[in-house]
Amino acid sequence: MALPKPVAGIVILGVSETLRDQDMTQDWPRRALRYFLIAVVGFVVVSVLLVLMLRVVPVFGSMVMVERKVQSWFSAESLNIRHDWVPWERLSDQAKLAVIAAEDQKFPQHHGFDFGQMRKALMAWRSGNNLRGASTISQQTAKNLFLWTGRNWLRKVLEAWFTVLIELLWPKERILEVYLNIAEWDNGVFGLEAAARHYFGVSAAELNANQASRLAAILPNPREWSASRPSSYVLQRSQWIQRQMRQLGGTQYLERL
């Protein structure tokens, strides 16, 4: 028996909607994958353009600065960010060398990652020691400039990506220049110029070898250690850094950059 036309229309509409819903349900993985790929391509394009722009544009802030400021808001504490961009020519050569001697003596040779130090850190950890850092200056620059503090796999993956980018798109001098201008040296004190004035009352260009080595010595823990009132450990580390600076051949080592 034939259905009345209104009823038949409702049945056909219901069947078509059911089929459409089934098609959409079956198609969602492909749509999700498409949107994911679009997001990845967009991120890659934006990050490459950002890194290219920062190759020539002075860097007046970093994500770590933003993070510290937000933390101060949540803790209801006042934090004044002190930071002044200083170009390469006005940064003390002693400070450049001290940071390389302290943080990454293979900086001129590697391409962003020191796999030898990574292996040593992993072996020490497997032997029961604390997991120590093996980050290069390039990795620290990428992390401080673009990412947040803390340790998780997402941040490490993004850190690796930005490290590759700055190594490909920036010369070594630019990487070190940016690092010295955004490194954290005390609560709210970022960059070599602010650190030099904060601890010693001089400009970044006027730092001598002793002052530079003390600043480099506190980089692993800048919010707890002081360059102007150094502990015995900081003094010992500073003296070790000065010996390393001499063994590297003094400021002539910077010509390798």
Letter for the amino acid at 255? E
Q: Is the pLDDT of residue 1 over 70?
A: no
Which of 37-41, 129-133, 192-196 tops mean pLDDT? 192-196
Alpha helices by DSSP H, 108-208: 115-126, 137-146, 153-169, 172-182, 192-200
The pLDDT of 154-181, averaged and rounded, is 96
Q: Please state, in angstroms and rounded to a whole number, the distance separating the CA atoms of residues 71 and 2.
A: 72
Strand order in the sheet with 82-83: 82-83, 189-190, 184-186
The region of weakest confidence among 29-43, 45-59, 126-140, 158-172 is 126-140
pLDDT of 32 higher than 90: no
Looking at residue 78, its pLDDT comes to 86
Domains, the chain, ranges and CATH?
Answer: 55-76+87-256 (1.10.3810.10)
Side-chain-side CA neighbours of 46 within 13 Å: the count stands at 7
Neighbours of 22 (CB within 10 A): 10
Closest CA to 227 of 196, 254, 206: 196
Q: Which two tokens stand for residue 127?
A: 């032997």
How many residues would you count in the chain? 257
On average, the pLDDT of the chain sits at 87
pLDDT at 9 over 80: no
Is 221 in a helix, a strand, or coil? coil
